Chains A and B, each alone.
Chain A
Amino acid sequence: MSPTIIVEQLSKTYKVPEREGGFGAAVRSFFKRRYKDVKAVQEVSFSIAQGEVVGFLGPNGAGKTTTLKMLSGLLHPTGGKANVLGFTPWELKTDYLRSMTLVMGQRNRLSWDIPAADSFLLAQAIYRIPDDEYRKTYKELDELLELAPLMKKPVRNLSLGERMKCEIAAGLLHRPKVLFLDEPTIGLDISGQARIREFLREYNRRTGATILLTSHYMADVTALCERIIIIHQGQLKYDGGIGNLSRRIAPFKLIGVMLAKSNGFDLSRYGEPVQNEEDAEKHYIRVKAGDVTKVTSRMLSDLPIHDITITDPPIEDVIERAFNE
């Protein structure tokens, strides 16, 4: 059987207006604009078989979203070919659009002012889903995502996690064979992320749908994907099993501590200090995964610790690090 998604030498170059800072430069650029070519995706090739769940990773600006947008048909590539389910995506054939979905964690598909139930009915009309099929799909989605209590409230009154459940369900009402998910768990709390993850795994098992997803959360990827594709600066860097990758580049954990007295302690004795902008109150160090227990107990006995956390390093850092080293 031929693969569901085939990507050959896919490239996208954006023309981005560019100017120096300052008033004079702004006025000059009004009359004569200079453009800079930004190579967002460069000759990326891969193929994905039916039913596979593939994690698509890379730091911000690596070209993940651009690739997903080309594969879903939103963007025309500057070069190369793609074939999804036998269609060239950017031709936007109706039959193609009816058999795939793109869910973006940071965009809203549902209308804010009306309950999700009404947006669902609109989707049913647009995708021409027969009533009995619609009921069946909805029942299944409801079972997996517990939608019923959310359907009657206007979407703007839902929490982020509740809204994301509805967004994902709305994108799946037409039973797409291919799912492109761009950060489907972004901004959700741990249990929210776990629920979406669990849902995707079950959905894939039940329907045999092919899933390509990007995520910032290592756990999303390790829980769902056996295979990952990494791109960095628009180029494909890794395509293969996840086991190899985490052995190769992520055998580290982050230990974060909040100290009763903040200065005067040298944390570099325990591991490599790292900056964490999201949580400036804590001091973070990076240690080998195998040493975590040992280092933690030493720190607990040596230091006046208020609070301690052990986390996976953000996937972006891992990848950034792996390819910069």
Chain B
Amino acid sequence: MYFFKLISTLFKVNVQMAVAYRADALVNILLNIMWLGWELLGLSIIFSNTDTLGGWGFGELIALLGVFRIVHTMMMTLVWPNTEKFNQSIRDGSMDYTILQPVSSMFLVTFSRINIWRTWDLVLSIVLIVIGVNLAGEVATPLSILNFILLTLSGAVVIYSLWIVMIAFTFYFTKFDNNVTILQALLDSGRYPVSVYPPWLQVIVTFIIPIAVATTIPVQGLRQELGTPQVLMFAVIAAVSFLVASLFWKAGLKRYSGASS
């Protein structure tokens, strides 16, 4: 309850920051639509030459694009703006104040900036998923939808945990501005099913930087390719990675010694 109230306050504060820049809002929304058109065009060009990609049809890839956009939205609304704020607060020392707030600093670092114009991407993503599933001629059952939601959440938590670990490295090295570049670089791989990539890259995007966990796998859940034990396994993986990230964050805080002595 407390955290929901906090998030809603943070959201309000960010809305106020955002409405100060109206042109920014319009540009953001237009850019989103252009990117979406561009991506759909890319897919239709690929499918004018072939019927399947790594065993996936056109509709399925559109659904995958939808899921990819969900992760992308998380990155755009929370991860990038808060990374920027985090790096800045390490440099100017305002991190000190964040640590001394009587609330989890990891929570504050995650939610203090919310790029609210990007949240509407979620609507686009869900529309894409619904269209994709329909095009693929698949029937979504309540169970497959539940699996899908659970897997999407698990995937998001895994990526989020990875982000926390990456920015927590800053506590150890002080200067580590490119802390999330690798995440950004690999994230793009998520727009295609993991099966199209060569085995070595599959290993990387599944286990090391598990972008696939957040994109390919939820769609597999929607296609009812995964059993309940597998779905639960991914939920457990998410919980464990969150725990590891929290511990790593705490250890990092201990190392932190402020911008000046």
**Residues B20 and A113 in contact, CB atoms below 8 Å apart:** yes
Q: Contacts A14-B257, A122-B9, A125-B5 given; indicate if A113 touches B17 (C-beta within 8 A).
A: yes
Closest residue of B by beta carbon distance from A170: B97
Within the assembled complex, what's the spacing in Å between the Cα atoms of A277 and B17? 42
Dominant secondary structure at the B interface: helix
In the docked arrangement, what's the CA distance between A97 and B6, Å?
17
Q: Which residue of chain B is the closest to A180 with respect to CB atoms?
A: B100
Instruction: Please tell me if B50 contacts chain A, counting CB pairs below 8 Å.
Output: no
Q: Which of B54-62, B67-75, B88-96, B194-202 contacts A (4 or more CB under 8 A)?
A: B88-96
A113 to B81, CA, bound (A): 14
Count of A-B residue pairs with CB < 8 Å: 72
Q: In the assembly, what is the distance between CA of A17 and CA of B66, in Å?
A: 49
- Per the bound structure, the CA–CA distance linking A108 and B89 in Å amounts to 10
Tell yes or no: A299 within 8 A of B by CB. Answer: no
Cα distance A182–B85 when bound, in Å? Answer: 24
Given contacts A14-B261, A69-B258, A97-B101, contact A104 B13 (CB under 8 A): no
Binds B, one of A72-80, A261-269, A282-290: A72-80
- The yes or no answer to A29 lying at the interface (CB within 8 A) is no
Contact of A121 among B9, B92, B94, B260 (CB under 8 A): B9
- Shortest beta-carbon distance from A70 to chain B in Å: 11
CA distance A128 to B9 in the complex (A): 12
With A65-B260, A65-B261: A109-B97 Cβ-Cβ less than 8 Å: yes
Interface code A55-66, partner B: CB below 8 Å = 1, 0 otherwise?
A: 000000000011
Shortest Cβ gap from A131 to chain B (Å) = 12
Partner of B16, one of A76, A95, A118, A128: A118
A125 CA to B7 CA in the complex, in Å? 10
When chains A and B are docked, how far (Å) is the Cα of A38 from the Cα of B260?
A: 13
In the complex, chain A residues whose CB is within 8 Å of the CB of B12: 118, 121
A126 B101 Cβ-Cβ under 8 A:
yes
Q: Tell me, yes or no, whether B10 is within 8 Å of chain A by CB.
A: yes
Per the bound structure, the CA–CA distance linking A132 and B93 in Å amounts to: 33
CB pair B96 A126 closer than 8 Å = no
Residues on A with C-beta less than 8 A from B94 are: 107-109
Max count, chain A CB within 10 A of own CB: residue among B12, B17, B96, B261: B261
Cα of A300 to Cα of B15 in the assembled complex, Å? 62
Which residues of A102-120 have CB atoms within 8 Å of chain B's CB atoms? 102, 104, 106-109, 111, 113-114, 118-119
Give the distance to chain A from B253, nearest Cβ to Cβ, in Å: 8
Quote the shortest CB–CB distance from A119 to chain B (angstroms): 8
CB distance from B142 to the nearest CB of A (A): 37
A201 CB to nearest B CB, Å: 24
User: Distance in Å from the Cβ of A128 to the closest Cβ of chain B?
Assistant: 7
Pair B254/A74 contact, Cβ less than 8 Å: no
Does B102 make an interface contact (CB < 8 A)?
A: yes
Q: Are A126 and B103 in contact (CB under 8 A)?
A: yes
Say whether, besides A66-B261, A76-B254, A126-B102, A121 and B96 are in contact (CB < 8 Å): no
| Alpha-carbon distance between A76 and B2 when the two chains are bound, in angstroms | 29
Task: Give chain A nearest CB distance to B132 CB in angstroms.
Answer: 38
Nearest residue in B to A167 (C-beta to C-beta)?
B97
Are the CB atoms of A126 and B6 closer together than 8 Å? Answer: yes
Determine if A108 and B92 form an interchain contact, defined as CB atoms under 8 angstroms apart: yes
Contacts of B256 in A (CB 8 A): 74
Whether B97 lies near A114 (C-beta < 8 A) is no
What is the distance, in angstroms, from B251's C-beta to the closest C-beta of chain A? 12
Chain A residues lying within 8 Å of B258, measured Cβ to Cβ, are: 69, 74-75
* Chain B minimum-CB-distance residue to A104: B96
**B261 A102 Cβ-Cβ under 8 A:** no
- Residues of A contacting B100 in the complex (Cβ-Cβ under 8 angstroms): 72-74, 92, 97, 102
A106 to B93, alpha carbons, bound, how many Å?
Answer: 9
What are 13 pairs between A and B in contact, CB < 8 Å? A75-B258, A106-B93, A107-B94, A109-B97, A111-B13, A114-B13, A114-B17, A118-B13, A118-B16, A122-B13, A126-B6, A126-B102, A128-B2
**Which 8 pairs between the two chains have the least Cβ-Cβ distance?**
A97-B102, A125-B9, A94-B102, A98-B102, A109-B97, A113-B17, A118-B13, A107-B93
What 16 new A-B contacts, CB under 8 Å, besides A14-B261, A98-B102, A118-B13?
A: A40-B261, A65-B260, A73-B100, A74-B96, A74-B100, A74-B258, A75-B258, A76-B254, A95-B102, A97-B101, A104-B93, A107-B92, A107-B97, A108-B94, A114-B13, A122-B13
